[in-house]
């Protein structure tokens, strides 16, 4: 008889996600549903507001994906109003986005995903001297690799265990048979977990320098809100730029000397996970990090394109403004569409909530009915996976030398074919590979900004079309970027100077979407199929694959009281 495994909530993510997996008699997942269990309705909140302030609301969708929503939002309004931003603004925006990506990917590996592969309690059995030998082999350029250092880390972990209060390491499946790493590798990983925790708070100072704060740095329709004055005290000056340079240098040291070596080491212990979790086989990237303005996708550092059916011999074009390409369905989502409408392009999108699920608390959802607060985005009717793996595959399949370099090097070290990328471990590895590229590009964007300033250009904003009197009466715009978790799009309709409609389709809407009207699974659901589980009472295998996507449900389901009543009203004067 089929067994249903429910994981609710999925932890070590942002937001509220429920996964239900249906196992056959062999303990293999034969069906799965992904349910976003929270709704905020940000699109409804934005209607009637000034489009120049939309970014400030959108950015607060999430405290993790913070800067990217502001970027996509200002780009959508700029696209609608035909505003070209100064070169310095593009460089600063690129620096902000790449900083977010580097910090987010390192944090995801160590603090959200590594514990799916690393048995923390096993580290107590490790020999500190043998751990030091291993660490020096894995990360020869990393300074903290002495027996005494690892002995201190081991003693710290032992205090947690002996107290019975594991703190940040509580409620995990320690001792699960699916853990394969030896004690010394586990101790090394725990030590680096703690080091990365210290580092991640430093790199985001780049956001505070250019954007005033983190989370939620400041943006501006028309450019950036920061002024540049090399000798000034209240602007971006030479001292601040030198600080940014030093932070980027340290970030590169962490990525190349710690993160990527640890990632390769973990992957070497789990070769079976290069054959599990592949999922849809369809991948999409909007592209980002423009080199010649946002309207020239041919010169993006992250290329734009689509790979369908795991076919790396072709990259198909994608246009998020084409009403025949990106569309959202609600066949299994708790929303209503106008009668006769099965799918809508975001410019015509409707966000009308209608919950028809069971009364909480409930044992299970009905996969044949509506079961999620997430809509189901599709590209030409096909479900897509977005994120690091999609970006890496589009770059690799498109023949980009930088992508082929890092992919070929990693596959060579692990002695794996390109097909290994279509997997849970491939998805995890791709995140590290693109971080290698992102941290290099971060340094290059910084150099370009400094060179532009030295040439006498200090402009950071274009205010020519700031006043609503200069706007057309009725316009639409699309803003997109490649967030750490994947392709992010904001679509705005401006009429009479106000927002008439606003729709947001985020990476986790694509990946965590429910089935569509044709019964096609979303990326999470598809990736779980055919996964064997060693112990259904401890669903570690489900967490490995779901965490490999780095879910952000706060973004995807955009909070109301359980009875639908208004919780608070904020009046801005």
Which of 105, 301, 378, 485 is catalytic? The answer is 485
Dist. CA 479–CA 499, nearest whole Å:
15
- Is 65 noted as a catalytic residue in this protein? yes
pLDDT for the residue numbered 501: 97
Q: Which residues are CB-neighbours of 513 under 8 A, at least 6 positions away?
A: 34, 372, 374, 375, 376, 377, 383, 522, 523
Q: β-strands 305-307, 283-285: how paired? A: antiparallel
| 62, 226, 478, 481: the active-site residue | 62
Which residue out of 69, 91, 431, 521 is catalytically annotated?
Answer: 69
Catalytic residue among 372, 555, 557, 558: 555
Cα 379 from Cα 324, distance rounded (Å) = 8
Known active-site residue 14: yes
Coil, helix or strand at residue 19: strand
Asked about 385 being catalytic, the answer comes back as no
pLDDT of residue 572: 33
Query: For residue 455, how many other CB atoms are within 10 A of its CB?
Result: 8
Phi and psi at residue 20, to the nearest 5° = -120, 125
CB 404 within 8 A of CB 544: no
Which residue(s) pair with 306 in the sheet?
284, 316
Annotated catalytic, 552? yes
Coil, strand or helix at 487: strand
Predicted local distance difference test score (pLDDT) of residue 168: 62
Residue 566 confidence (pLDDT):
43
pLDDT for the residue numbered 42: 84
Other CB atoms closer than 10 Å to residue 27's CB: what's the count?
Answer: 15
Predicted pLDDT of residue 563: 45
Rounded Cα gap, residues 561 and 573, in angstroms: 26
Catalytic residue among 14, 59, 367, 525: 14
Active site residue 226: no
pLDDT along the chain (573 residues), means of 10: 88 91 96 91 91 95 86 98 98 98 97 94 95 97 95 90 70 90 97 96 96 94 95 91 98 97 97 97 98 96 98 96 94 95 96 93 95 97 98 97 97 95 98 98 98 97 97 98 97 98 96 97 98 95 97 65 40 36
CA distances from 65 to 134, 219, 245, 489 (A): 35, 15, 23, 13
In terms of Cα–Cα distance, which of 215, 214, 236 is closest to 225?
236
Between CA 249 and CA 432 the distance in angstroms is 17
Q: Domain 85-169+176-277+423-463 classified CATH 3.40.50.1370?
A: no
Catalytic residue among 372, 552, 557, 558: 552
- Specify the pLDDT at position 553: 79
The alpha carbons of the chain give a radius of gyration, in whole angstroms, of 23
Q: Is 75 a catalytic residue?
A: no
What is the structure's pLDDT at 328? 97
Q: How far apart, in whole angstroms, are the C-alpha atoms of residue 365 and residue 37?
A: 11
Q: What torsion do the CA atoms of 328, 222, 93, 45 make, to the nearest 10 degrees? A: -40
Q: For the residues of 189-257, what is the DSSP string, one character each?
A: HHHHHHHHHHHHHHHTHHHHHHHSSSSS---BTTB-S--B-TT-SSSB-HHHHHHHHHHHHHHHHHIII
Both tokens of residue 510?
A: 């694509």
Phi and psi at residue 505, in whole multiples of 5°?
-120, 110
Identified catalytic residue from 34, 35, 285, 508? 508
Other residues' Cβ atoms within 10 Å of the Cβ of residue 168: 12
Q: Could you say which of 43, 52, 65, 385 is catalytic?
A: 65
Identify whether the C-beta of residue 247 lies closer than 8 Å to the C-beta of residue 200.
Answer: no
């Amino acid at each position: 008889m089929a067994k249903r495994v429910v994981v609710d909530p999925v932890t070590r993510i942002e937001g509220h996600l429920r996964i239900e997996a249906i196992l056959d008699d062999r303990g293999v997942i034969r069906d799965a549903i992904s349910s976003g269990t929270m709704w905020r309705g940000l699109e409804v909140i934005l209607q009637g507001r000034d489009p120049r302030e939309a970014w400030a609301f959108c950015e607060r969708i999430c405290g993790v994906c913070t800067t990217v929503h502001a970027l996509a939002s200002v780009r959508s309004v700029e696209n609608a109003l035909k505003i070209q931003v100064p070169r310095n603004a593009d460089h600063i925006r690129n620096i902000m986005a790449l900083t977010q990506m580097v910090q987010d990917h390192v944090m995801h590996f160590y603090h959200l995903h590594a514990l799916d592969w690393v048995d923390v309690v096993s580290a107590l059995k490790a020999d500190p001297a043998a751990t030091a030998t291993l660490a020096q082999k894995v990360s020869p350029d990393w300074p903290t690799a002495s027996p005494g250092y690892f002995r201190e880390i081991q003693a710290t972990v032992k205090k947690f265990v002996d107290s019975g209060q594991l703190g940040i390491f509580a409620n995990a499946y320690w001792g699960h048979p699916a853990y394969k790493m030896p004690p010394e590798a586990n101790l090394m990983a725990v030590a680096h977990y703690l080091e990365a925790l210290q580092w991640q708070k430093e790199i985001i100072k780049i956001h505070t320098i250019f954007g005033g704060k983190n989370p939620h740095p400041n943006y501006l329709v028309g450019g950036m809100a920061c002024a540049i004055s090399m000798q000034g005290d209240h602007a971006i000056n030479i001292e601040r730029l030198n600080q940014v340079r030093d932070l980027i240098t340290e970030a590169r040291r962490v990525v190349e000397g710690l993160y990527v070596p640890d990632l390769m080491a973990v992957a070497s212990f789990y070769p079976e996970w290069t054959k599990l979790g592949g999922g849809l086989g369809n991948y999409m990237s909007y592209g980002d990090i423009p080199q010649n303005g946002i309207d020239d996708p041919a010169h993006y550092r992250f290329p734009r394109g689509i790979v369908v059916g795991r076919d790396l011999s072709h990259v198909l074009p994608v246009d998020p403004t084409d009403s025949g390409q990106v569309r959202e369905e609600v066949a299994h989502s708790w929303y209503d569409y106008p009668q006769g409408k099965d799918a809508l392009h975001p410019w015509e999108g409707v966000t009308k909530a209608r919950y028809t699920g069971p009364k909480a608390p409930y044992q299970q959802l009905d996969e044949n009915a509506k079961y999620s607060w997430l809509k189901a985005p599709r590209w030409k009717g096909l479900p897509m996976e977005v994120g690091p793996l999609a970006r890496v595959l589009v770059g690799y399949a498109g023949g980009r030398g930088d992508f082929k370099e890092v992919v070929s090097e990693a596959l060579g070290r692990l002695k794996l074919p390109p097909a290994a990328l279509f997997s849970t471990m491939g998805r995890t590895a791709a995140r590290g590979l693109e971080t290698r590229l992102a941290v290099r590009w971060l340094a290059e964007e910084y150099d370009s900004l400094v060179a532009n300033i030295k040439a006498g250009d200090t402009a950071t904003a274009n205010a020519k079309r700031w006043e609503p009197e200069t706007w057309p009466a009725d316009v639409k715009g699309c803003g997109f970027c490649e967030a750490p978790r994947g392709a992010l799009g904001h679509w705005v309709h401006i009429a009479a100077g106000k927002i008439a409609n606003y729709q947001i389709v985020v990476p986790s809407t694509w990946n965590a979407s429910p089935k569509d009207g044709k019964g096609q699974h979303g990326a999470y659901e598809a990736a779980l199929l055919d996964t064997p589980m060693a112990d259904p009472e401890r669903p570690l295998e489900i967490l490995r694959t779901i965490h490999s996507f780095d879910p952000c449900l706060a973004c995807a389901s955009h909070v109301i009281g359980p009875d639908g009543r208004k919780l608070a009203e904020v009046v801005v004067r």
